[in-house]
A = this chain, B = another copy of it.
Amino acid sequence: MSDASQKREESLDVIQRELTAFARRARSAAARLHPELPLVSYTLLAHIDEQHGCRAADLAAHYMLDKSTVSRQIGALEKLGMVERHPDPADHRIQVLRPTQAGTQALAATKASRRAAYRERLGEWTAHDLAQFARYLLRYNAAGDATAP
């Protein structure tokens, strides 16, 4: 194996290991830091908000979740008063999901507290390094959803 491709392999191994380590820790850390709005709910709620309303099937597709999982998660969010289901007049099979005011607020609060945590954690980084890291992550995630990790 050439020297260059040797280096590539090493980098790949590091990326694999570190991303996996991150994934392994993400949930517990999120649960600890934001008990009021669990990671999964947060993620779904954020997506609903960004899309300005969407269907359960969209969430399932986007996050590779079973529709039953999404259905229950939405149920939980509804019980918390964070989302509302609006029947679509044009197609009675569809429910359009929208964040309630409480949902929007909770989302903003969680987003702010997460941002603060990241700001602290990455406080030593230069703006250039942050921008580079963000760019790499975007590129990585865009590279095909089905291949990780």
Contact = CB atoms under 8 A, between A and B. Distances in A.
B132 A8 contact: no
Interface string A50-68: 0000000000000111000
A144 B127 contact: no
B23 A137 contact: no
A20 B124 CA distance: 21
Interface in A106-121: 114-115, 117-121
Contacts of A115: 9, 12-13, 16
Interface residues of A, number: 63
B136 A136 contact: yes
A14 B147 contact: no
Given A26-B19, A130-B12, A114 B39 contact: no
A29 B147 contact: yes
Given A12-B130, A15-B122, A15-B130, 15 more contacts: A7-B130, A11-B130, A12-B119, A13-B115, A15-B137, A16-B115, A18-B134, A20-B43, A22-B22, A22-B140, A25-B64, A28-B65, A120-B147, A121-B144, A121-B147
